[in-house]
Amino acid sequence: MQYGQPFLGCLPTFPPVTKVTGMDTLLPVASGGAAGPLTADELRELYSLMVAVRHLDTSAIAWQRQGIIPGYAPELGQEAAQVGSGYAVDTTRDFVFPTYREMGVARTMGVDMVAYMSTHKATWHGGLYNPLESRLAPIQAVVAGSVLHAVGWAHGQTLAAGSDATTDGGLGVALTYFGDGASSQGDVHEAMNFAAVMKAPVVFFVQNNGWAISVPTERQVAGGSVAARAAGYGMPALQIDGDDVVAVVEATRRAFAHARAGNGPVLIEAMTYRRGPHSTADDPGRYRSLDEERDGAGADPLERLRQRLLADGIADEAFFAEALAAAKAEEEQIRTGIQALGSRPGTEMFDLVFQETTPALQAQAANWREESEHV
Amino acid sequence: MSNSILESANAAASTSAGTPASTTVMSMQQALNRALDEVLAENPKAVIFGEDCGRLGGVFRITDGLQAKHGEQRVFDTPLAESGILGMSVGLAMAGFHPIPEVQFDGFAYPAINQIVCQIARMNYRSRGALPMPITLRVPSFGGIRAPEHHGESLEALFAHVPGLKVVSPSNPHEAYHLLKHAATRPDPVIFMEPKSRYWQKGEVDMADGGTPEGAKVMREGRHLTLVAWGAMVARCLQVAELAAEDGIEIEVLDLRWLKPIDAGALAASVRKTRRAVVVHEAPLTSGLGAEVAQLITQSCFDTLKAPVERVTGFDVPYPSGDLEDEYIPNIDRILFGIQRVLEYKRG
pLDDT band at B348 (very low <50, low <70, confident <90, very high): confident
Do A275 and A356 lie in one domain? The reply is no
Q: B263-279: per-residue pLDDT in tens?
A: 999 999 999 999 999 99
Which of A23-37, A94-108, B102-116, B177-191 is predicted with the least confidence, judged by mean pLDDT? A23-37
pLDDT score for A374: 59
The catalytic residue positions of B are: 151
Q: Which of residues 228-287 of A touch B (CB under 8 A)?
A: none
Do A364 and A324 lie in one domain? The reply is no
Do A240 and A319 lie in one domain? The reply is yes
Q: Check for a shared fold between B2-206 and B217-343.
A: yes
**Considering the domain B2-206 in this protein, what is its CATH number?**
3.40.50.970
ipTM of the complex: 0.92
Domain membership flag for residue A12: no
Domain membership flag for residue A135: yes
Q: Give the count of domains, chain A.
A: 2
pLDDT score for B21: 82
Do A254 and A358 lie in one domain? The reply is no
Q: Is the pLDDT of residue B23 over 90?
A: yes
| CA-based nearest distance B22→chain A, Å | 30
Nearest CA to B125 out of B166, B164, B165, B86 is that of: B164
Do A155 and A286 lie in one domain? The reply is yes
**Interchain contact, B261 vs A358, CB within 8 Å:** yes
Domain membership flag for residue A7: no
**Interchain contact, B91 vs A187, CB within 8 Å:** no
User: Which chain A positions have a beta carbon within 8 Å of B127's beta carbon?
Assistant: 126, 131, 138
List residues bridging with A177 in a β-sheet.
A205
Q: Is the pLDDT of residue B200 over 70?
A: yes
pLDDT band at A168 (very low <50, low <70, confident <90, very high): low
B18 touches chain A (CB under 8 A): no
Do A152 and A57 lie in one domain? The reply is yes
A113 touches chain B (CB under 8 A): no
- Whole-angstrom Cα distance, residue A297 to residue A273? 5
Given a contact cutoff of 8 angstroms between Cβ atoms, the answer to whether B271 and B180 are in contact is no
pLDDT band at A12 (very low <50, low <70, confident <90, very high): very low
Q: B229-264: per-residue pLDDT in tens?
A: 999 999 999 999 999 999 999 999 999 999 999 999
| A274 noted as active-site residue | yes
- Whole-angstrom Cα distance, residue B133 to residue B164? 10
- In this structure, what DSSP letter does residue A213 have? T
User: Which chain A positions have a beta carbon within 8 Å of B261's beta carbon?
Assistant: 358-361
Domain membership flag for residue A45: yes
In one letter, which amino acid is B28?
M
Nearest CA to A246 out of A42, A14, A51 is that of: A42
Domain membership flag for residue A15: no
Q: Where are the domains of chain B?
A: 2-206, 217-343
Higher pLDDT: A21 or A145? It is: A145
Do A151 and A77 lie in one domain? The reply is yes
Q: Provide mean pLDDT across the span A342-371.
A: 96
- Whole-angstrom Cα distance, residue A52 to residue A50? 5
Given a contact cutoff of 8 angstroms between Cβ atoms, the answer to whether A269 and A225 are in contact is yes
**Three-state DSSP class for residue A341:** coil
**Interchain contact, B130 vs A125, CB within 8 Å:** no
Q: Which of B89, B115, B261 sits opposite A359 (nearest CB)?
A: B261
Domain membership flag for residue A325: yes
Do A299 and A367 lie in one domain? The reply is no
The CATH architecture that domain B217-343 belongs to is 3-Layer(aba) Sandwich (3.40)
* Residue of B48, B72, B83 to mutate, testing the A interface (most A Cβ within 10 Å of its Cβ): B83
Q: Provide mean pLDDT across the span A74-102.
A: 97
- Whole-angstrom Cα distance, residue A88 to residue A100? 20
Do A83 and A210 lie in one domain? The reply is yes
**Three-state DSSP class for residue A16:** coil
Q: Which of B73, B119, B126 sits opposite A125 (nearest CB)?
A: B126
pLDDT band at B125 (very low <50, low <70, confident <90, very high): very high
Q: Which domain holds residue A292?
A: 23-344
Domain membership flag for residue A13: no
Which alpha helices (H) appear in chain A, and where do they start and end? 40-65, 79-86, 103-109, 113-117, 131-134, 147-161, 186-198, 245-260, 290-297, 301-311, 317-340, 347-351, 359-371
Phi, psi of B280 (to 5 degrees): -120, 125
* Residue of B126, B191, B300 to mutate, testing the A interface (most A Cβ within 10 Å of its Cβ): B126
**Interchain contact, B129 vs A194, CB within 8 Å:** no
- Whole-angstrom Cα distance, residue A211 to residue A214? 6
Q: Which of residues 172-211 of A touch B (CB under 8 A)?
A: 174, 186-187, 190-191, 193-194, 197
Q: Is the pLDDT of residue A25 over 60?
A: no
Q: Is the pLDDT of residue A146 over 70?
A: yes
Do A127 and A235 lie in one domain? The reply is yes
Side-chain half-sphere exposure of B315, counting CA atoms within 13 A: 11
Q: B301-325: per-residue pLDDT in tens?
A: 999 999 999 999 999 999 999 999 9
Which residues fall within 8 angstroms of residue B182, CB to CB, at 6 or more apart? B210, B213, B214
Q: Is the pLDDT of residue B6 over 90?
A: no
A348 touches chain B (CB under 8 A): yes
Do A354 and A325 lie in one domain? The reply is no
A346 touches chain B (CB under 8 A): no
Domain membership flag for residue A131: yes
Which residues fall within 8 angstroms of residue A250, CB to CB, at 6 or more apart? A20, A23, A26, A29, A35, A37, A38
pLDDT band at A36 (very low <50, low <70, confident <90, very high): low
Q: A193-226: per-residue pLDDT in tens?
A: 999 999 999 999 999 999 999 999 999 999 989 9
pLDDT score for A169: 80
pLDDT score for B19: 75
Dihedral sign computed on CA atoms, order B144, B174, B311, B293: positive
Do A372 and A228 lie in one domain? The reply is no
Q: What is the DSSP track for A220-239?
A: T-TTS-SGGGGGGGT--EEE
B44 touches chain A (CB under 8 A): no
List residues bridging with B48 in a β-sheet.
B75, B100
Q: A220-246: per-residue pLDDT in tens?
A: 999 989 999 999 999 999 999 999 999
User: Which chain A positions have a beta carbon within 8 Å of B265's beta carbon?
Assistant: 359
Q: Provide mean pLDDT across the span A35-58.
A: 94
